[in-house]
Structure 1
Amino acid sequence: MPRVLAPFPAPALRLRRVALCAALALAAACGWSGAEEEDVGGAPGAPTGLTAEAGSATSVHVMWNVTARAHAYEVYRGITKVGEVTGPRHMVDVTRLRPSTLYVFTVRARDADGRLGPPSRQVRARTPADVADDHSAPTRPSTPAGRTAGSRALQLSWSASRDDRDVVSYDIHQGAARIHSVSGDQTAAVVTGLRPGTSYAFTVRARDAAGNVSPASTTVRLTTPGTDDGRATAPTGFRATSHREDGAYHVDLSWVPPRVDGEITEYQIQLDGRAVTSLLYGGNAPRDRAAHSFYVGQVAGATHRVRVRAMLPDGIWGGFSAERTVTTGARR
């Protein structure tokens, strides 16, 4: 999933270290340092890389890094729990806040057995003053631009929007999904955690203190250099057999979902070189092993080639599994 780190140097820009994740999206980790937390068992550790930016006079956008063994995250304002998100998500908008107020936030990770880890470090964010009767959105961010920075990162920049009061924040979107918010004095960022040889599309929107949102900027489309053989994002342990039922033959598949940052809810099955089935899961997407069976005809002895791939949380197709050959009516 994409991560956004410190903005790249640019003349006349006030840049601060930022972090960004996607979402499938999506998300990755904010404030990412390049080191992955080691999974050694037990309760989850304290979330790292916590950031908080005011999104309007009454909301703050809170983000943090991926935490090993986390099944869900609890978000606290002071000692009060104000939000909870499931493991694939690493961001939340805390709303119903007071204007011109300083708030303190922490996050705790909880594993699938309900064990709660220690709190993250505290971060502070001050909401701007409220603006009465403000119904005018900022102008759209102009001249968005980007360039690749290796096979797994790219640099984004845009020109500041105008508002009759002040621009409080900018929302960055990957495709249709908002993947982060940065403060209104930032006009550049570095997106990391990308895949080699992959095309991405980003837009930016400006937001004022009243929560009015500008139209989207024009789209920045970039393709990271290099090639991606797909092995890191392909389903593994792929198996294919057939069975006969009610006078017809069916192909039975099973596989292990790829290990990626986020939940996989969509798969595409390819039969004999063409896509024939799409699987969509709701809130119970398989994590350990997925399975599916589909009709292939009434002829015994027909041989088929089959493979599967996953739609990753960042909205990009992953690599195909190994291809298997299955013959209807063959003995297992």
Structure 2
Amino acid sequence: MEITLVLLIIFVGLVFDFTNGFHDAANAIATSISTRALTPRIALAMAAVMNFAGAFLGTEVAKTVGSGIIGAPHGTSGLTLVLCALVGAIAWNVFTWWKGLPTSSSQALIGALVGAAMAASGTVYWSGVVDKVILPMILSPLVGVALGYTLHLAILWTFRKASPRRTTRRFRMAQTVSASAMALGHGLQDAQKTMGVIVLALVTAGWQDDFSVPLWVVAAVAAAMAAGTYSGGRRIITTLGLRITQLDPPRGFAAETAAATVLYITAFVLKAPISTTQTITAAILGAGATRRASAVRWGVARTIVAAWILTFPGAGLPAAALYLLVHALTGL
């Protein structure tokens, strides 16, 4: 029974990672597509390759997710908990993709883990949730807004005497680099969260003693995310690239560079799982606000923020309900 559950968790985990890829494809490429720096086909292929590569850059965030959020009971009960959490996170990802809302797959996964753990009367490491999840997820959008705004102001001042046509052309080319950096950072951050859940299942089943990430887990997760990214999330690309604010290449470059900077700092320095979606959306808001505050469609932004707030319970409640249902029917 445990073998079946572990294999099922690995499969469902890879499905979640695939949904993460198509749900969050917009994070890296929406601005480049909206400014016509890249065609959709080229942008998606580039993002898929960089997501794949980014997954191999580190595992510290995976260890945080695997060991620092919940303490799943050993055996079939713990494995059932993990499986229900994955299903809850997938359900929220699909729902918000259908609605075209750029919500956080990271928050969905962690919210689902916490919800399922509470339903199972398991251990939730609330200090870890607050320090390593809640605070970074609150601070990262704020830093993203500030960096996006500041970086674009610096670009405006530096190129204030340059030819607008030539400047636009140069930044359109530069966006290839900034979009690649953003896609690499997305692979670094988001792939590790699925790695952490799979490793949690392996430890829960007693298949390994620590939370180190095997190479086969890294490779499988990287491939699933790359495939999901290439399939694209065009609904969310439209929201991020067009509906929040009108972007030009310099603003797109500023937003992507600011967001990528936050992703690398939190992954390598803080070892914290943050939302790439929230970070790039905040950076777009910051870069767009340099034109004037009214240039940002704040009504769309408010809808996105509301979806962020609802993500934790939106994924946690279905995961908890599913665990209770499975437990009642099977006793697992």
Q: Specify if TM > 0.5.
A: no
Q: Whose helix fraction is larger, Structure 1's or Structure 2's?
A: 2
More relative contact order, 1 or 2 (CA 8 Å, 6+ apart): 2
- Using structure 2 for the length normalisation, give the TM-score: 0.23
- Using structure 1 for the length normalisation, give the TM-score: 0.23
Q: Which has the larger radius of gyration?
A: 1
